[in-house]
Structure formats: structure tokens, C-alpha cells
Amino acid sequence: MNEDNKLIGQFLAGDIKGFEMLVKKYQNRTLNIVYSLVGNDRDSEDIVQEVFIKAYHGLGGFRGSAQFSTWLYRISVNTTYDFLRKRRHTTVHEDVSKAKAVIDESSELSLSAREKKEEVQKALDSIPFHYRSAVVLKDIEGLGYADIARALGCSIGTVESRIYRARQLLREKLSDPGGR
């Protein structure tokens, strides 16, 4: 039995520590996936909370047929999608107050280095969600195609073509993708 399943078992047996360990183990990976999909600190933090609330409620029915991480990433992608869809339909005045807790390491970088990093996120923001989610799971989280297919609920062939298309689109948006 892998470590995650042990922790899940511990949680289901009534020990909340098991769930806490899972949260700590996956919070930053989830955060970076969600951040790359949504593009700002404050919303990412809220969505990540939402993801773990859903996991908390859903784990009672988790049968271990999929890996916990894949299951969690599926919740992450779908929760983010749902959030973005709802945001489209409501007028949000982005009071771009920084998130309460997200540690932004780039604040110590020079202006040009920061712009360079923001450029990558802006390019991601500009491509369709189904391309973005595939390429983020690949290049931000480092999943293999089979796990991405499970997380997105599509075939491996679809994953492959979405990633290819995403990279093509990103290359057009990035002025100098190879440069530093």
C-alpha cells in the first residue's frame, strides 16, 4: 500500500492527522497547478481551499482505483474550470489585493526578470482552458500522458494533441521562449 493510501485509511478510520498530512504534501503542487490555470494569487488560494474541502468530503467514497494525486488533480482542474466559468458570468471588479498567504518569490527579482516570468503566465492565460490544463499538468506538475488522461477524463491521444497545440500557441505568444 502506498503512503497516500495509508494516510487516507488513517483519515477514514477517524484520525484527522491523515488528512492533514495529505494537505501538507499536496498543497503546493495543487497551488501551482491552480495558479497556472487561473493566473492570480488570491483566486488560486481560494480554489485550493475549495479543492481540499471537496477532497475531505469525497474521500469517504474513495476506493483507491485511481491514485490519490490524480484524483486530487482532477478535482483541481474541474474546480478551477468551474470557477472561471462562473467568473465569466459575473462582473468581478478585480481588487487585486494580494492573497493573504501565497509566498511570491519573484518579489525579490529585478523588474525585467519579473516581467519575464509574468509573460509566461500571461501567455498561459491567453490560450483555451482545455489546452492550458493539459500542458500545465505536463510541464508544471510533470505528469505522464496516462495520468493526465485520467485527470482530464480524456484519451491519451487527446492529451497528446492538446499539449502539442498548447505549445504551438504558447510559442506564438512568447517573444523569446528560450531566452532568459
Partner 1 sequence: MLNCKKVKKLLSRYLDGEMDEATSRELKAHLEGCVSCARELSGLNAVKNALAAKERKALPEDYLVCRLKERLHSAEEVAPKWQWLPDMGNLSRRLIPVPVAVIAVSLAFLSATLGEFDKVDIVDNYLFQDNLSRAELSILEESNVTLDSATRIVFGINGNQWR
Q: Would you tell me which residues interact with partner 1 (CB under 8 A)? A: 12, 20, 23-24, 27-28, 31-32, 35-36, 41, 44-46, 48-50, 52-54, 56-63, 74-75, 78-79, 82-83, 86-87, 90, 101-106, 117, 120-121, 135-136, 138-140, 144-145, 153, 160-161, 163-164, 167-168, 170-171, 174, 177-178
Q: If you ran DSSP here, which 8-state letter would residue 69 be given?
A: H
Please, what is the end-to-end C-alpha distance for the chain in angstroms? Answer: 43
Pick from 1, 2, 3: which is nearest to 24 by CA? 3
Nearer to partner 1, 1 or 103 (CB): 103
Question: Is 63 or 93 the residue whose CB approaches partner 1 more closely?
Answer: 63
- Quote the least distance from Cβ 2 to partner 1, whole Å: 19
Interacting residues of 65 by C-beta distance below 8 A, sequence separation 6+:
none
How far is it, in rounded angstroms, from Cα 133 to Cα 163?
9
Residue 7 or 48: the one with the smaller Cβ distance to partner 1 is 48
Instruction: Give the DSSP letter of residue 143.
Output: -
